[in-house]
Amino acid sequence: MTRIIPIRVAESAVSPAPTCGNSGLKAPPPLALYVHWPWCVKKCPYCDFNSHEFANAGAPDEHAYLTALIADLEAALPAIWNRPVMSIFIGGGTPSLMSGDTVDALLAAIRMRVPLHPDAEITLEANPGTAEAEKFAAFRAAGVNRLSLGIQSFADDKLRALGRIHDSHEALAAIDLAQRHFDRVNLDLMYALPEQSLAQARDDICRAIATGVTHLSAYHLTLEPNTAFHHAPPPLPDDDLAADMQEMVEGELAGAGFMHYETSAFAKGREQRCLHNLNYWTFGDYLGIGAGAHSKLSSHERIWREARHRHPRAYLEATRNGRWQSSAADISSDDLPGEFMMNALRLTEGVPAALLTERTGLPLATITKSALAARRDGLLDTDAGLLRPTAQGRRFLNRLLHYFLA
């Protein structure tokens, strides 16, 4: 049996678009909005997200990109007409490279075009460099109410190994400044880093806890295809040590009062959980705008996925020709159960069994045989009308998911 390793999933990431199907939903699920900023100063060697270095893609024209984002949103309005948006996530790339004025104009344009929930969660990803941190007050004034900081480690040698352009002093200063302006701050951390010991991984987690933030995302470093680390792997901890690190992370955070609510996410209280991510894991809808952004959308008759052009130049060209999508396809009824379970089983508490029908239009009987088999093997708990991974199921999540994938 292979131990599951928590994998970083971009808050925008979705699987490739499957083939056609019919859902028959009684009502569309909650709707979130994802906005992608595709540029960064330097591409990290482990990163497989759709990000482009200034040196290769050219410094961004913020006005041109903002114009494209607004046009993209307007073109998508017929698919989401009059549906309230419960959260916005601005990811990248490095969206904190945007000016405060651009973020303000972007959020104002969104408010003018969609019914944004009065208490909508609005998250922006930021790097802890000095130049970005100076903009935190402007981001808060623009309406951002949750900041996600890409810290990764508090050890300078590990930050250099990861290709990060900040150091530990900048990280701590950015966290302090973020907490002055935002009530909700998330820290992204990684473990199983090049030549990292268990003690070093513990030090990173303990230093993160000591900052007083209320949400942490702890990811196992993985070697993703088409990354510099995949082509030239660094010396990484072996599987047993990585597993010890995972257990240490969970234990330290539990002892500090964090609830482990999703594979890689920990929150100090239910109200501190990331609502945008919870919408992903409960198979809600999301519209993605920006270069390389993905969408999963529903109507009464169908559920489908869309993707925007990945390269910024191709995306900006769509401003002129109106062809925003690089792909679009319905999700088949054969694939819907697996897609639903692949998301829902990331949640420690699982989901109500009735949510499968509510979000896919398919009867619960569709997965009965698979669920019973997974329960017999001790991987799934179906008591009290829930679909919930057991402790063993969380540890071996890949094996559990195989029961439900078509």
Residue ranges per domain, the chain?
31-281, 336-402
Q: For the chain, first and last CA: distance in Å?
A: 21
Residues with Cβ < 8 Å from 6, sequence gap 6 or more?
218, 219, 220, 246, 263, 264
Question: Which residue is listed with tokens 């993985």?
Answer: 222
Q: Check residue 233 and give its pLDDT.
A: 96
Dump strand ranges (E) for 56-136.
85-92, 116-126
CATH topology for 336-402 is: Arc Repressor Mutant, subunit A (1.10.10)
Q: Do domains 31-281 and 336-402 have the same CATH topology?
A: no
| CA dist., res. 148 & res. 123, Å (int) | 7
Q: Check residue 9 and give its pLDDT.
A: 35
Contact between 71 and 317 (Cβ < 8 Å): no
Contact between 147 and 127 (Cβ < 8 Å): no
Residues with Cβ < 8 Å from 391, sequence gap 6 or more?
none
CATH topology for 31-281 is: TIM Barrel (3.20.20)
pTM: 0.92
Predicted confidence pLDDT, tens digits, the chain (406 residues): 333 333 333 333 333 333 334 447 888 999 999 999 999 999 999 999 999 997 665 678 999 999 999 999 999 999 999 999 999 999 999 999 999 999 999 999 999 999 999 999 999 999 998 778 899 999 999 999 999 999 999 999 999 999 999 999 999 999 999 999 999 999 999 999 999 999 999 999 999 999 999 999 999 999 999 999 999 999 999 999 999 999 999 999 999 999 999 999 999 999 999 999 999 999 999 999 999 999 999 999 999 999 999 999 999 999 889 999 999 999 999 999 999 999 999 999 999 999 999 999 999 999 999 999 999 999 999 888 999 999 999 989 999 999 999 6
**35 φ, ψ to 5°?**
-120, 125
Q: How many CB atoms lie within 10 A of CB 144?
A: 25
Q: Check residue 7 and give its pLDDT.
A: 32
Q: 3-21 b/e with 16+ CB inside 10 Å = b?
A: ebbbebbbbbebeebbeeb
